[in-house]
Amino acid sequence: MPRKTGRQFFANPGPTNMPDSVLRAMDRPTIDFNDPEFTAVFDAGVAGLKRVLRTSGEVFLYTASGHGAWEATLVNLLSPGDAVLVIESGWFSAAWHEMAGKLGLHVQTVAADWRRGADMAAVEAALRADGGHGIKAVLAVHNETATGLALPLPDLRAAMDAAGHPALLLVDTISSLGSLEFRMEDWGIDGVVGGSQKGLMLPTGFSFTAVSPKAMQAHAGAGLARHYFDWSVMLRRPQRSFVGTVPVSLFYGLQESLRLIELEGLDQVIARHHRLAEATRRAVRAWSGNSGPQLYGLDPARLSDSVTTVLMPAGHDADAVRRTALDRFNVSLGGGLGKLQGQVFRIGHLGDLNEPMVLGTLGAVEMSLRLNGVPHGRGGVDAAMDWLAAA
């Protein structure tokens, strides 16, 4: 294989780029996770996570990827045969749905067109129809990484309140935390699932659930079998988390990534994600001329600021474009998941990213469209530059 020069432009929607200073912070000797020096780093990391989550409640952490936090959240809050309502958004809502079913929960769905996202009136209607309050939790993916659509969580909360339904609201923020605006307490969210490897700019390796007081009460009566993920077991551990070895190095990385986020300012981090996402969208809109690729999401208000999903014109293979981008230009794009494989590619623009990195990626995509004979409007990169130079 020919040597690839320069740095790879990593435009996958997770894991994401890690800042050099985060890499350096983790490059240190092992330390006992009960050493007071580590305890201080750990405690500061959890306090910082709470600031990013905008919560003062408990946070339980696991040495697991996001799937582990999904499972932990369900088994700690629910009992066999409980009903849950999944808000369909795409591949990841379907995977959480499947997990809930396998864990012995009775899963209902608010079906949604993946290109438009769920209708909040349908959520309210589904909850009103549940007069006996059999539904114990609503499961929603804040940012559907497969489709590039975000769910308006305050509207979801309002729909639950309008229905007067007491179900817990459980939200996956795996590809939104630290990238999109998110306010756990203000938005009345009871369980928040997050992971290390996206907006927090760390390696894959830990995930977590932030828990409201109402959810802690539900935990006391939850009957699903659990041990490794049991919050009650964790509360007796020195870290109030982790049944097992603590991923020590990651917390040195977290200390640094939180420092970077707070140095830039969380609001500025979110504004940067919006600026870079909008540049990407403007490029795709330019390419959509001449019957070219289009934005997958059809509702402009729901387009995600952390990932853009691009729908290819019929008869053209998204994976061929991705291969060209990787082989010729050393740019790594995300592929289509499940039924979208080959039909879409995904441009991740979350985490440690700046304007030239986004422009470089967009340039590689535009060249790859050309090299694969995909019809498209020219000038996507120009459209992105016009926006970035003005924004």
Q: Please give the angle made by the CA atoms of 287, 291 and 292, to the nearest 5 degrees.
A: 35
Per the CB < 8 A criterion, the answer to whether 71 and 94 are in contact is no
E-strand ranges in 306-358 read 307-311, 331-335, 344-348
**Which residue from 50, 54, 67, 214 is in contact with ligand PLP, where contact means CB under 6 A?**
67
Q: Shortest distance, CB of residue 86 to ligand PLP, whole angstroms?
A: 13
Give residue number: closest CB to ligand PLP.
66
Tell me if 63 contacts ligand PLP by CB under 6 A. Answer: no
Check residue 147 for interaction with ligand PLP (CB under 6 A).
Answer: no
142 vs 165, which CB is nearer to ligand PLP?
142
Provide the phi-psi class of 188: left if phi over 0, else alpha when psi is between -120 and 50, else beta: left
Q: Which tokens belong to 124?
A: 């309210």
Q: Which of 76, 175, 257, 372 touches ligand PLP (CB under 6 A)? A: 175
Amino acid identity at 237: R
Per CB under 6 A, does 253 bind ligand PLP?
no
65 contacts ligand PLP (rule: CB under 6 A):
yes
Q: Does 195 bind ligand PLP (CB under 6 A)?
A: yes
**From CA 111, how far away is CA 115, in angstroms rounded?**
12
The answer to the question of residue 250 lying near ligand PLP (CB under 6 A) is no
Strand order in the sheet with 331-335: 9-11, 331-335, 344-348, 307-311, 294-295
- Strand pairing category for 149-150 and 143-144: antiparallel
Work out which of 10, 11, 12, 14 binds ligand PLP, going by CB under 6 A. Answer: 14
Among 9, 10, 38, 92, binds ligand PLP (CB under 6 A): 92
Q: Of the two residues 195 and 247, which places its CB atom closer to ligand PLP in the complex?
A: 195
CB of 154 to ligand PLP, least distance (A): 19
Among 82, 172, 181, 278, binds ligand PLP (CB under 6 A): 172
Q: Smallest gap, in angstroms, from Cβ of residue 145 to ligand PLP?
A: 3
Q: Which residues contact 259 (CB under 8 A, 6 or more apart)?
A: none
Are 261 and 170 in contact by the 8 Å Cβ rule? The answer is no
200 versus 211: smaller Cβ distance to ligand PLP: 200
Site residues (CB under 6 A) for ligand PLP, limited to 119-138 = none
CA distance 72 to 61: 10
* Cβ contact 384:280 at 8 Å: yes
Query: Is residue 177 involved in binding ligand PLP (CB under 6 A)?
Result: no
CB of 201 to ligand PLP, least distance (A): 14
Cα–Cα distances in angstroms (integers) from residue 129 to residues 3, 44, 159, 336, in the given order: 60, 44, 13, 35
Strand ranges (DSSP E) for the chain?
9-11, 58-62, 83-87, 106-110, 135-141, 143-144, 149-150, 168-172, 191-195, 207-211, 294-295, 307-311, 331-335, 344-348
Q: Which residue in the set 41, 123, 141, 312 belongs to the binding site for ligand PLP (CB under 6 A)?
A: 141
* Least distance to ligand PLP, CB of residue 371, Å: 28
Q: Select from 29-37, 169-177, 208-216, 232-240 the region that touches ligand PLP (CB under 6 A).
A: 169-177
Binding site for ligand PLP (CB under 6 A): 14, 65-67, 92, 141, 145, 172, 174-175, 195
